[in-house]
Amino acid sequence: MCCSGIDDLWVNRVYITTAEFKGEIVDPVSQAFLGGSLSQSSASNKSQQVSALIIGALAGMAPDLDVLIRSAADPLLFLEFHRQFTHSLIFIPFGSFICALLFYPFFKSKLSFKQIYLFSFLGFATHGLLDACTSYGTQLYWPFSNERVAWNTVSIIDPLFTFPLVIFSLLAAFRKKVVFARIAFLYAVLFLSLGLVQKYRAEDSLKTLALQRGHLIERSNVKPSFANRHVWKTMYEYDGRYYIDAVKLLWAKDIISGVSVQKLNIERDLPWLDINTQQARDIERFRWFSNDYLAMSNEGGDYIIDVRYSFLPNRIESMWGILLSDNKDNTQHVGYKMKSRPDKETVDRFLEMLF
Protein backbone atom coordinates (compact mmCIF):
# COMPACT_ATOMS: atom_id res chain seq x y z
CA MET A 1 0.00 0.00 0.00
CA CYS A 2 1.22 3.48 -0.78
CA CYS A 3 0.37 4.69 2.71
CA SER A 4 1.57 1.64 4.68
CA GLY A 5 4.22 3.59 6.59
CA ILE A 6 1.70 6.18 7.71
CA ASP A 7 -0.76 3.44 8.64
CA ASP A 8 1.91 1.66 10.72
CA LEU A 9 2.68 4.84 12.62
CA TRP A 10 -0.99 5.63 13.15
CA VAL A 11 -1.91 2.16 14.40
CA ASN A 12 1.11 2.05 16.70
CA ARG A 13 0.41 5.49 18.09
CA VAL A 14 -3.26 4.82 18.78
CA TYR A 15 -2.44 1.47 20.36
CA ILE A 16 0.06 3.22 22.62
CA THR A 17 -2.47 5.88 23.56
CA THR A 18 -5.05 3.21 24.32
CA ALA A 19 -2.54 1.24 26.36
CA GLU A 20 -1.67 4.25 28.44
CA PHE A 21 -5.27 4.16 29.67
CA LYS A 22 -4.98 0.34 29.89
CA GLY A 23 -7.60 -0.15 27.20
CA GLU A 24 -10.22 1.13 29.60
CA ILE A 25 -11.97 3.95 27.79
CA VAL A 26 -13.57 4.92 24.56
CA ASP A 27 -11.33 7.64 23.12
CA PRO A 28 -12.13 10.95 24.86
CA VAL A 29 -12.67 12.76 21.54
CA SER A 30 -15.67 10.56 20.74
CA GLN A 31 -17.05 10.96 24.26
CA ALA A 32 -16.60 14.71 24.12
CA PHE A 33 -18.22 15.33 20.76
CA LEU A 34 -21.09 12.91 21.28
CA GLY A 35 -21.94 14.70 24.51
CA GLY A 36 -21.35 18.07 22.88
CA SER A 37 -23.54 17.32 19.87
CA LEU A 38 -26.52 16.35 22.06
CA SER A 39 -26.09 19.46 24.22
CA GLN A 40 -25.83 21.64 21.10
CA SER A 41 -28.98 20.03 19.71
CA SER A 42 -30.94 21.41 22.66
CA ALA A 43 -29.56 24.95 22.46
CA SER A 44 -32.43 27.43 22.23
CA ASN A 45 -30.61 30.10 20.20
CA LYS A 46 -27.57 30.50 17.97
CA SER A 47 -25.45 32.28 20.55
CA GLN A 48 -25.44 29.19 22.80
CA GLN A 49 -23.83 26.80 20.31
CA VAL A 50 -20.22 27.26 21.43
CA SER A 51 -21.10 27.19 25.14
CA ALA A 52 -23.27 24.11 24.67
CA LEU A 53 -20.46 22.31 22.84
CA ILE A 54 -17.88 23.11 25.54
CA ILE A 55 -20.15 22.19 28.46
CA GLY A 56 -21.51 19.07 26.78
CA ALA A 57 -18.02 17.94 25.76
CA LEU A 58 -16.52 18.37 29.23
CA ALA A 59 -19.50 16.70 30.90
CA GLY A 60 -19.32 13.95 28.29
CA MET A 61 -15.78 13.11 29.36
CA ALA A 62 -16.27 13.63 33.11
CA PRO A 63 -17.33 10.06 34.08
CA ASP A 64 -13.92 8.74 33.07
CA LEU A 65 -12.34 10.58 35.98
CA ASP A 66 -12.97 7.33 37.83
CA VAL A 67 -9.69 6.05 36.31
CA LEU A 68 -8.03 8.00 39.14
CA ILE A 69 -9.41 5.45 41.61
CA ARG A 70 -6.52 3.02 41.85
CA SER A 71 -4.09 1.57 44.34
CA ALA A 72 -0.43 0.66 44.14
CA ALA A 73 -1.00 -2.19 46.59
CA ASP A 74 -4.07 -3.56 44.78
CA PRO A 75 -3.60 -3.47 40.98
CA LEU A 76 -7.16 -4.73 40.32
CA LEU A 77 -8.90 -1.93 42.19
CA PHE A 78 -9.27 0.15 39.01
CA LEU A 79 -10.96 -2.79 37.26
CA GLU A 80 -13.71 -2.75 39.88
CA PHE A 81 -14.30 1.00 39.91
CA HIS A 82 -13.80 2.03 36.29
CA ARG A 83 -17.15 2.18 34.48
CA GLN A 84 -18.91 1.66 37.78
CA PHE A 85 -20.85 4.32 39.74
CA THR A 86 -19.82 7.28 37.55
CA HIS A 87 -21.17 5.41 34.50
CA SER A 88 -24.44 4.19 35.99
CA LEU A 89 -27.78 5.52 34.82
CA ILE A 90 -28.84 6.49 38.34
CA PHE A 91 -25.75 8.68 38.81
CA ILE A 92 -26.43 10.88 35.76
CA PRO A 93 -28.45 13.59 37.59
CA PHE A 94 -25.86 13.82 40.39
CA GLY A 95 -22.82 13.80 38.11
CA SER A 96 -24.46 16.44 35.93
CA PHE A 97 -25.15 18.62 38.97
CA ILE A 98 -21.50 18.44 40.06
CA CYS A 99 -20.42 19.39 36.53
CA ALA A 100 -22.88 22.28 36.43
CA LEU A 101 -21.57 23.64 39.73
CA LEU A 102 -18.02 23.57 38.38
CA PHE A 103 -18.98 25.17 35.05
CA TYR A 104 -21.28 27.88 36.45
CA PRO A 105 -18.57 30.42 37.39
CA PHE A 106 -17.25 30.33 33.81
CA PHE A 107 -20.59 30.58 31.98
CA LYS A 108 -22.86 32.53 34.37
CA SER A 109 -22.56 35.69 32.26
CA LYS A 110 -24.00 33.86 29.24
CA LEU A 111 -26.24 31.14 30.63
CA SER A 112 -28.49 30.52 33.61
CA PHE A 113 -27.69 27.68 36.00
CA LYS A 114 -30.70 25.80 34.63
CA GLN A 115 -29.29 25.99 31.09
CA ILE A 116 -25.82 24.94 32.26
CA TYR A 117 -27.32 21.98 34.11
CA LEU A 118 -29.32 20.94 31.03
CA PHE A 119 -26.21 20.97 28.81
CA SER A 120 -24.24 19.10 31.50
CA PHE A 121 -27.01 16.53 31.91
CA LEU A 122 -27.22 15.78 28.19
CA GLY A 123 -23.46 15.52 27.80
CA PHE A 124 -23.02 13.38 30.91
CA ALA A 125 -25.89 11.07 29.94
CA THR A 126 -24.28 10.00 26.67
CA HIS A 127 -21.12 8.67 28.29
CA GLY A 128 -22.23 5.42 29.91
CA LEU A 129 -24.46 4.51 26.99
CA LEU A 130 -21.63 4.96 24.48
CA ASP A 131 -19.31 2.90 26.68
CA ALA A 132 -21.93 0.15 26.82
CA CYS A 133 -21.74 -0.09 23.02
CA THR A 134 -18.16 -1.39 23.36
CA SER A 135 -16.98 -4.77 24.62
CA TYR A 136 -15.29 -3.68 27.86
CA GLY A 137 -18.40 -3.75 30.05
CA THR A 138 -20.21 -0.89 31.79
CA GLN A 139 -22.18 -1.13 35.04
CA LEU A 140 -25.19 0.82 33.82
CA TYR A 141 -27.47 -0.59 36.53
CA TRP A 142 -25.21 -0.03 39.54
CA PRO A 143 -25.97 -0.21 42.51
CA PHE A 144 -28.87 -2.56 41.74
CA SER A 145 -26.71 -4.89 39.67
CA ASN A 146 -23.00 -5.37 39.00
CA GLU A 147 -23.69 -6.70 35.49
CA ARG A 148 -21.17 -5.40 32.98
CA VAL A 149 -23.28 -4.34 30.01
CA ALA A 150 -21.43 -4.76 26.70
CA TRP A 151 -23.41 -4.50 23.46
CA ASN A 152 -20.30 -5.00 21.29
CA THR A 153 -21.32 -2.77 18.40
CA VAL A 154 -18.32 -0.45 18.12
CA SER A 155 -14.59 -0.50 18.83
CA ILE A 156 -13.19 1.71 21.60
CA ILE A 157 -11.70 3.78 18.77
CA ASP A 158 -13.36 4.06 15.37
CA PRO A 159 -12.44 6.97 13.05
CA LEU A 160 -15.61 6.49 10.96
CA PHE A 161 -17.63 7.15 14.11
CA THR A 162 -15.55 10.01 15.46
CA PHE A 163 -14.61 12.18 12.47
CA PRO A 164 -18.16 13.03 11.28
CA LEU A 165 -19.13 13.82 14.88
CA VAL A 166 -16.25 16.26 15.19
CA ILE A 167 -16.87 17.90 11.81
CA PHE A 168 -20.61 18.49 12.23
CA SER A 169 -20.31 19.59 15.87
CA LEU A 170 -17.68 22.17 14.96
CA LEU A 171 -19.77 23.34 12.02
CA ALA A 172 -22.68 23.87 14.41
CA ALA A 173 -20.48 25.90 16.75
CA PHE A 174 -18.77 28.09 14.16
CA ARG A 175 -21.73 28.59 11.85
CA LYS A 176 -24.14 28.76 14.80
CA LYS A 177 -26.65 26.40 13.21
CA VAL A 178 -28.25 23.77 15.39
CA VAL A 179 -29.06 21.58 12.39
CA PHE A 180 -25.42 20.51 12.09
CA ALA A 181 -25.38 19.38 15.74
CA ARG A 182 -28.52 17.35 15.19
CA ILE A 183 -27.00 15.76 12.10
CA ALA A 184 -23.94 14.82 14.17
CA PHE A 185 -25.98 13.19 16.92
CA LEU A 186 -28.30 11.43 14.47
CA TYR A 187 -25.28 10.08 12.59
CA ALA A 188 -23.84 8.71 15.83
CA VAL A 189 -27.10 6.97 16.74
CA LEU A 190 -27.43 5.44 13.26
CA PHE A 191 -23.79 4.34 13.22
CA LEU A 192 -24.11 2.59 16.57
CA SER A 193 -27.44 1.03 15.60
CA LEU A 194 -26.11 -0.32 12.30
CA GLY A 195 -23.37 -2.00 14.30
CA LEU A 196 -26.06 -4.47 15.36
CA VAL A 197 -26.31 -5.61 11.74
CA GLN A 198 -22.60 -6.42 11.60
CA LYS A 199 -22.82 -8.07 15.01
CA TYR A 200 -25.62 -10.33 13.78
CA ARG A 201 -23.56 -11.26 10.70
CA ALA A 202 -20.54 -12.05 12.90
CA GLU A 203 -22.66 -14.23 15.19
CA ASP A 204 -24.10 -16.06 12.18
CA SER A 205 -20.58 -16.71 10.85
CA LEU A 206 -19.49 -18.02 14.25
CA LYS A 207 -22.42 -20.46 14.40
CA THR A 208 -21.69 -21.71 10.89
CA LEU A 209 -18.01 -22.22 11.71
CA ALA A 210 -18.76 -24.15 14.91
CA LEU A 211 -21.25 -26.32 13.04
CA GLN A 212 -18.64 -27.14 10.40
CA ARG A 213 -16.28 -28.24 13.18
CA GLY A 214 -18.95 -30.37 14.83
CA HIS A 215 -18.91 -28.23 17.97
CA LEU A 216 -21.88 -27.38 20.16
CA ILE A 217 -21.43 -23.78 21.33
CA GLU A 218 -21.72 -23.44 25.10
CA ARG A 219 -21.36 -19.65 25.02
CA SER A 220 -19.94 -17.15 22.59
CA ASN A 221 -18.76 -13.59 22.13
CA VAL A 222 -18.20 -11.43 19.05
CA LYS A 223 -16.77 -7.93 18.89
CA PRO A 224 -15.31 -5.55 16.31
CA SER A 225 -11.54 -5.44 16.18
CA PHE A 226 -9.55 -2.27 16.69
CA ALA A 227 -10.58 0.93 14.88
CA ASN A 228 -12.92 -0.67 12.33
CA ARG A 229 -16.19 -2.54 12.00
CA HIS A 230 -15.64 -5.02 9.20
CA VAL A 231 -13.09 -7.34 10.87
CA TRP A 232 -14.60 -9.01 13.93
CA LYS A 233 -13.16 -11.24 16.62
CA THR A 234 -15.30 -14.34 17.20
CA MET A 235 -14.97 -16.59 20.22
CA TYR A 236 -16.87 -19.55 21.56
CA GLU A 237 -16.47 -22.13 24.32
CA TYR A 238 -16.77 -25.86 23.72
CA ASP A 239 -15.66 -28.84 25.81
CA GLY A 240 -13.34 -26.85 28.07
CA ARG A 241 -11.66 -24.85 25.31
CA TYR A 242 -12.02 -21.42 23.77
CA TYR A 243 -11.93 -21.19 19.97
CA ILE A 244 -10.83 -17.80 18.66
CA ASP A 245 -11.18 -16.79 15.01
CA ALA A 246 -11.86 -13.66 12.98
CA VAL A 247 -14.36 -12.89 10.25
CA LYS A 248 -14.16 -10.18 7.61
CA LEU A 249 -17.61 -8.77 6.92
CA LEU A 250 -17.83 -6.88 3.66
CA TRP A 251 -20.28 -7.95 0.94
CA ALA A 252 -19.28 -11.54 1.68
CA LYS A 253 -18.19 -13.23 4.89
CA ASP A 254 -14.58 -14.34 4.97
CA ILE A 255 -13.44 -16.49 7.89
CA ILE A 256 -9.86 -15.94 9.11
CA SER A 257 -8.94 -19.09 11.00
CA GLY A 258 -7.45 -18.74 14.43
CA VAL A 259 -6.45 -20.85 17.41
CA SER A 260 -7.84 -22.46 20.55
CA VAL A 261 -6.79 -22.64 24.18
CA GLN A 262 -7.84 -24.51 27.29
CA LYS A 263 -10.17 -22.71 29.66
CA LEU A 264 -8.61 -21.85 33.02
CA ASN A 265 -8.85 -24.66 35.57
CA ILE A 266 -7.27 -23.60 38.85
CA GLU A 267 -6.79 -27.12 40.21
CA ARG A 268 -5.05 -28.23 37.03
CA ASP A 269 -3.16 -25.05 36.10
CA LEU A 270 -2.28 -23.72 39.56
CA PRO A 271 -2.06 -26.76 41.84
CA TRP A 272 0.05 -24.85 44.39
CA LEU A 273 -2.52 -22.10 44.96
CA ASP A 274 -4.33 -21.99 48.31
CA ILE A 275 -7.95 -20.94 47.68
CA ASN A 276 -7.96 -18.98 50.96
CA THR A 277 -5.28 -16.52 49.83
CA GLN A 278 -5.69 -13.03 48.42
CA GLN A 279 -4.31 -14.20 45.08
CA ALA A 280 -7.14 -16.74 44.78
CA ARG A 281 -9.69 -14.04 45.59
CA ASP A 282 -8.07 -11.79 42.97
CA ILE A 283 -8.55 -14.49 40.34
CA GLU A 284 -12.29 -14.39 41.06
CA ARG A 285 -12.29 -10.59 40.77
CA PHE A 286 -10.53 -10.87 37.41
CA ARG A 287 -12.96 -13.64 36.39
CA TRP A 288 -15.90 -11.27 37.03
CA PHE A 289 -14.24 -8.49 35.05
CA SER A 290 -13.43 -10.83 32.13
CA ASN A 291 -16.83 -12.54 32.13
CA ASP A 292 -14.96 -15.79 32.87
CA TYR A 293 -13.03 -15.75 29.59
CA LEU A 294 -9.78 -16.74 31.31
CA ALA A 295 -6.88 -18.95 30.25
CA MET A 296 -3.24 -19.49 31.10
CA SER A 297 -0.88 -17.59 28.83
CA ASN A 298 1.26 -19.57 26.42
CA GLU A 299 4.16 -17.30 27.37
CA GLY A 300 4.83 -19.46 30.39
CA GLY A 301 4.75 -18.65 34.08
CA ASP A 302 1.66 -18.24 36.23
CA TYR A 303 0.13 -15.60 33.97
CA ILE A 304 -3.67 -15.60 33.55
CA ILE A 305 -5.01 -13.70 30.54
CA ASP A 306 -8.31 -12.26 29.37
CA VAL A 307 -8.78 -14.03 26.04
CA ARG A 308 -11.36 -11.50 24.82
CA TYR A 309 -8.65 -8.99 23.93
CA SER A 310 -5.65 -9.32 21.65
CA PHE A 311 -3.86 -7.16 19.11
CA LEU A 312 -4.83 -9.61 16.36
CA PRO A 313 -8.50 -10.67 16.38
CA ASN A 314 -7.77 -14.32 15.53
CA ARG A 315 -5.06 -14.80 18.15
CA ILE A 316 -4.87 -15.29 21.92
CA GLU A 317 -1.85 -13.17 22.86
CA SER A 318 -3.67 -11.09 25.44
CA MET A 319 -3.26 -7.36 25.93
CA TRP A 320 -3.50 -7.74 29.71
CA GLY A 321 -3.63 -10.27 32.51
CA ILE A 322 -2.69 -11.05 36.11
CA LEU A 323 0.56 -12.51 37.41
CA LEU A 324 0.61 -14.95 40.32
CA SER A 325 3.53 -16.11 42.41
CA ASP A 326 3.93 -18.94 44.93
CA ASN A 327 6.41 -16.75 46.81
CA LYS A 328 3.77 -14.29 48.03
CA ASP A 329 2.17 -14.47 51.46
CA ASN A 330 -1.56 -15.00 51.96
CA THR A 331 -2.39 -11.28 52.05
CA GLN A 332 -0.55 -10.08 48.95
CA HIS A 333 -2.37 -9.23 45.72
CA VAL A 334 -1.61 -10.53 42.25
CA GLY A 335 0.40 -8.43 39.82
CA TYR A 336 -1.09 -6.83 36.73
CA LYS A 337 0.62 -7.06 33.36
CA MET A 338 -0.14 -4.98 30.28
CA LYS A 339 1.34 -5.17 26.80
CA SER A 340 1.72 -1.57 25.75
CA ARG A 341 2.13 -1.98 22.00
CA PRO A 342 2.25 -4.53 19.18
CA ASP A 343 5.41 -5.26 17.24
CA LYS A 344 5.79 -4.35 13.56
CA GLU A 345 4.93 -7.85 12.35
CA THR A 346 1.66 -7.77 14.29
CA VAL A 347 0.78 -4.34 12.89
CA ASP A 348 1.50 -5.53 9.33
CA ARG A 349 -0.68 -8.61 9.80
CA PHE A 350 -3.49 -6.50 11.24
CA LEU A 351 -3.36 -4.02 8.35
CA GLU A 352 -3.39 -6.95 5.92
CA MET A 353 -6.61 -8.17 7.53
CA LEU A 354 -8.16 -4.72 7.22
CA PHE A 355 -7.15 -3.82 3.69
Per-residue pLDDT of 3-56, as tens digits, reads 433 333 333 334 333 333 344 455 899 999 999 999 999 998 999 999 999 999
Q: Taking residues 123-138, what's their average pLDDT?
A: 96
Q: Taking residues 189-215, what's their average pLDDT?
A: 97
Of the candidates 351, 124, 90, 95, the one whose C-alpha atom is nearest the C-alpha of residue 228 is 351
Residue 335, domain member (yes or no): no
Out of 9-13, 144-148, 279-283, least confident range: 9-13
Residue 61, domain member (yes or no): yes
Task: State whether residue 70 is helix, strand or coil.
Answer: coil
Domain span at residue 44?
Answer: 4-197
Is the per-residue pLDDT at 234 higher than 50?
Answer: yes
**Burial profile 222-258: b = 16 or more Cβ within 10 angstroms, e = fewer:** bbbbbbbbbbbbbbbbbeeebbbbbbbbeeeeebbeb
Residue 249, domain member (yes or no): no
What is residue 204's DSSP assignment?
Answer: H
Q: What is the tally of structural domains in the chain?
A: 1
Is the per-residue pLDDT at 190 higher than 80?
Answer: yes
Residue 345, domain member (yes or no): no
Q: Taking residues 289-314, what's their average pLDDT?
A: 93
As a whole number of angstroms, the distance between CA 119 and CA 130 comes to 17
Q: What is the mean pLDDT of the chain?
A: 91
Residue 355, domain member (yes or no): no
Residue 183, domain member (yes or no): yes
Residue 57, domain member (yes or no): yes
Is the per-residue pLDDT at 308 higher than 70?
Answer: yes
225 pLDDT band (50/70/90 cuts)?
very high
Is the per-residue pLDDT at 341 higher than 90?
Answer: no
Residue 75, domain member (yes or no): yes
Percent of the chain residues topping a pLDDT of 70:
92
70 pLDDT band (50/70/90 cuts)?
very high
